[in-house]
Every structure is written in C-alpha cells, then in structure tokens.
Amino acid sequence: MQPSSITSCKRESLIVVSLSGGKDSTAVALLARQQHAAPDCRFVFADTGNEHEITLDYVHRYLPTIVGPIATVRADFSYEIEAKRQYARSIWPTEGVPEVFVERALSVLRPTGVPFLDLCLWKGRFPSRKAQFCTQHLKRIPLDQYLLDRMLEGYEVESWRGIRREESLNRRNAVERERVAEGFDIVQPIVTWSAQQVVDFVLAHGVALNPLYRQGMHRVGCLPCINCQKDELLEIAKRFPEHIDKIREWEHLVSMAAKRGWTTFFADSFLPGETIEQIAERMCIDARVRWAKTAHGGRQSDFLRESAPAACSSVYGLCD
C-alpha cells in the first residue's frame, strides 16, 4: 500500500473489519460493534468464488442483521487472462509447446467471472501449500485495495482482523496492534484467544455460527480449501458432492490452460518412475476423495468412513 499521496490534514478514524463468514472474523465484528458506532465501522468480505452457498448466505443475509451492511470485493483477472492468451499464442510455439496444447489453452482462456477459477486459468495451475498465491490474489489484494480507497477518501484506517496465534506456526508471533504506515494500523483483538473461546464468545452474544461448523468443517473459507484435511474432504464429499463436481470441472478447465497439459486441485507430487498420466490419475479430485474414504494410511477401505454423515459433526461441540 502506498499512502504517500494521502492528505496530511486531521482525518477521521474508520474501523474496517474483514469478514470471511468464519467464527474468528465474526467474533471480531462483534467486538468492533461493541466498541464503535455505525459510521465509524465498516465490514468487508472478499468473495473468492469458491465459498459454499451456506457461507454466502451467512455473510450476505444473516450477518448484516447483526452488524449492519457488509461490502463485497472480488478479484478480477480479465487483464491477466488476456495477456496470457497473447503470450500463449505468440510465445508458447517458440518454446516448443505442441500446437494442440496452444489451441486447448486458447479455447479456455476467457474470464469466467469466478475469481478462484480465473486466477487458476491465468496461472495454469492451482495454488498449493508451498505456492499459496490464492490468499494474496483473492483476499489480500482486493481487501488492501478497499482499505486504500478508504484512506484516499481521507480516513485514518484501522484494519481489524480475526487472526489467532494458535492457528499456525506462521501466526505464533502475531501482535494485537501494528502501525503499518501513517494513518494505517492493523488490529488483531483476538490474537491470544483459543478457538473454543471464540466459539463461546459468539454464542454468548446470541449470534449463530456459520452452519458449516455443524457439518464437520474446521474452517469455512473456500470449500474445499487447498489445505483441507482428509476428514474434512470426506465430509465435503458426503455432504456436498456438487462441490467435488465443481473441482472436477475446474481441474479439466485449468488443465487445458496449463502449458504441460494437466494439473490437479491438490498439489501434485512425484513418485519415482511415474508417468504424467499416473500422477494426474493419483492426485485428481476423485482419487483424493477415494483416498479420504480409506483408513490406515490409505491402504484399507473403511465402511464407517463411507457411511452417511452424522447430523452434527461439529469439531467445536455445537451439537445440542
């Protein structure tokens, strides 16, 4: 963010809460609402295009009844996809990419308006734990642009975020408040809270959590997330098979835009002697779902894992 062009005269303060539809950002929204009146406080949601409809309903219909209006930002990759089209048409043939791969890529390199898919079409691959460009392009950049626009309107901005130290090693040193630039602070008021504290706080205020938490989801961002665990993938396959269908379709489209001709939603890994077809077959979404139904390191099918989902599979003890 480059706030250098922003006026230096005395400015009003504005709290901006980034919402995801998850428990942590909901708790932060409630804290912000407790401490700040409506004109001083805004809420914004970055729509990745890969959320479950339940999350979209929670953010667009339920939460506004609790905290007030919520703005939505969506990344747009039209420019990048057009640039890739031109690159694929003019440069790929000079790099030895087979004509059939060039033609396949050109047939799918059009913006769909779904940010997650368009990002992957542009990159010719899916993000991975090691190359997690989805967070940056689908959330951080659109949210930063929203914050910068508010600063350009003349506000001093506090960006409130639902980050907690215990979430991951990367976040273990997260601080409660950080001044990033003149007129711009990051505030993380639940940085020392546990997951259960967050759940208890939200429920104690009479606010419902995203219903996906009762359906076995640990997190409620993208569904599925590229980092989702075996048990979570199994719950998704059982409860929301249409989202597995979505990923299968995306694997097909993004593979067509890939220079090497294939890619998979979950990161590929190479075993000695495997052909490209064998890797793709082993890592594709249907193979990962088959693996999620197994026990004992994937060597044994498990009847219990394949059975219908329980009515409530909450990891936060939300069952009545």
The residue ranges that bind ligand SF4 (CB under 6 A) are 48, 50, 127, 132, 134-135, 138-139, 221-222, 225-227
Pick the closer one to ligand SF4 by CB: 71 or 131. 131
What is the 3-state composition of the chain as percent helix, strand, coil, each rounded to the nearest 5?
50, 10, 40
Contact 117, 108 (CB under 8 A): no
Rounded to whole angstroms, the Cα distance separating 299 from 296 reads 6
Contact 16, 160 (CB under 8 A): yes
Rounded to whole angstroms, the Cα distance separating 132 from 158 reads 26
Pick the closer one to ligand SF4 by CB: 73 or 138. 138
Pick the closer one to ligand SF4 by CB: 139 or 238. 139
Pick the closer one to ligand SF4 by CB: 227 or 294. 227
Nearest distance, CB of residue 170 and ligand SF4, angstroms: 12
Pick the closer one to ligand SF4 by CB: 139 or 243. 139
Nearest distance, CB of residue 134 and ligand SF4, angstroms: 3
Nearest distance, CB of residue 20 and ligand SF4, angstroms: 8
Nearest distance, CB of residue 183 and ligand SF4, angstroms: 28
Rounded to whole angstroms, the Cα distance separating 114 from 253 reads 13
Rounded to whole angstroms, the Cα distance separating 280 from 125 reads 13
Phi and psi angles of residue 281, each rounded to the nearest 5 degrees, phi first: -65, -35
Nearest distance, CB of residue 229 and ligand SF4, angstroms: 12
